[in-house]
Amino acid sequence: MVGFFNIFEACRHCESLEHLVYASSSSVYGSNKKVPYSTDDKVDNPVSLYAATKKSNELMAHAYSKLYNIPSTGLRFFTVYGPAGRPDMAYFGFTNKLVKGETIKIFNYGNCKRDFTYVDDIVEGIVRVMKKAPDKKNGEDRLPIPPYAVYNIGNQNPENLQDFVQILSEELIRAKILPEDYDFEAHKELVPMQSDDVPVTYADTSALERDFGYKPRTSLRDGLRNFAEWYAEFYK
C-alpha cells in the first residue's frame, strides 16, 4: 500500500507519464455470489485485508487519474501460476510437500474452484494493455474525465481444486519429480474452508477481449506441464 501510494505521488510530478499499469486482484470480488465476476460488479465486501488493500489501490488510482489526468489501468489477476512462480502459492507449496512425502491440505473439502491463469498469458495481457492507455477526454462540464480503466485477466474457466491437484500430480510424475507409483490419494487431506478464503473465482474477460482482442487460453494441463518441467530442472 505504501509503495503504491509513493508510485502515484511520484507520477503526478512527471507530466510525460503515458500510462500507469498496476496489479490488482480477483480478491476484490470477495464472496461475490454472481459468476463470472465482472468489472461492473460491486466490490465493496472484501473478505481479507489483502483484498481491501487491492481495492484501495484501485480507488487511489481513480483519484489520481481524476486529479492529475494520469492514465491508469488496473489489472485484476486471477490466481497466477507457472514456472518460477511464488513458492508461497498453493500449487508450489503442494509440490514442495509432495516431493517431501508430506500430506497436502485441500480447503473447503475440495470444493473450491479457481480461475487459474498461466503466467505467460498474464504477461501477454499486460504488454497489450500497456500499449493502449485509456483516452484522455473532457466531459460535458469540460473537465477531464478520469482516464481510468480496470480489467479482469483470468482464464474464464474455473477449475475444481481436486482436478487441479490431480493434474499437478500427474505432471509431477511425468516430469519424474514424483515416482510412477506415487500414492497421491494417501497424501491428500480434505479440510474445512479458511475464513479469509472464497469458494470460487471466475473471471468475465469480455471487456479485455473487446478492447484488446485477447483472452488467456493456456490449458491447465499445458501450464502445469511447463511448471513441472521447470521445477525438475530448477531443483535437480
Ligand X SMILES: NC(=O)c1ccc[n+]([C@@H]2O[C@H](COP(=O)([O-])OP(=O)(O)OC[C@H]3O[C@@H](n4cnc5c(N)ncnc54)[C@H](O)[C@@H]3O)[C@@H](O)[C@H]2O)c1
Asked if 25 interacts with ligand X (CB under 6 A), we say yes
Q: Which of 37, 77, 202, 227 binds ligand X (CB under 6 A)?
A: 77
Q: How far apart are CA 145 and CA 126, in angstroms?
A: 23
Question: Using CB under 6 A, which of the segments 75-83, 127-135, 144-152, 161-169 binds ligand X?
Answer: 75-83
- Preceding omega of 36 cis (within 30 degrees of 0): yes
Q: Residues 79 to 138: which contact ligand X by CB under 6 A? A: 79-80, 86
Closest contact distance (angstroms) between CB of 232 and ligand X is 21
SS3 76: strand
Cell reading at 231: 521445477
Rg (CA), the chain: 20
Question: Using CB under 6 A, which of the segments 30-38, 76-84, 95-103, 213-221 binds ligand X?
Answer: 76-84
Q: Given CA atoms 69, 123, 34, 55 in this order, what sign does their dihedral have?
A: negative
Q: How far apart are CA 128 and CA 126, in angstroms?
A: 5
Catalytic residue from among 22, 50, 68, 109: 50
Q: Residue 50 catalytic?
A: yes
Give whichever of 21 and 23 is closer to ligand X, judged by the CB atom.
Answer: 23
Judged by the rule CB under 6 A, the positions of this chain that interact with ligand X are 3, 23, 25, 77, 79-80, 86
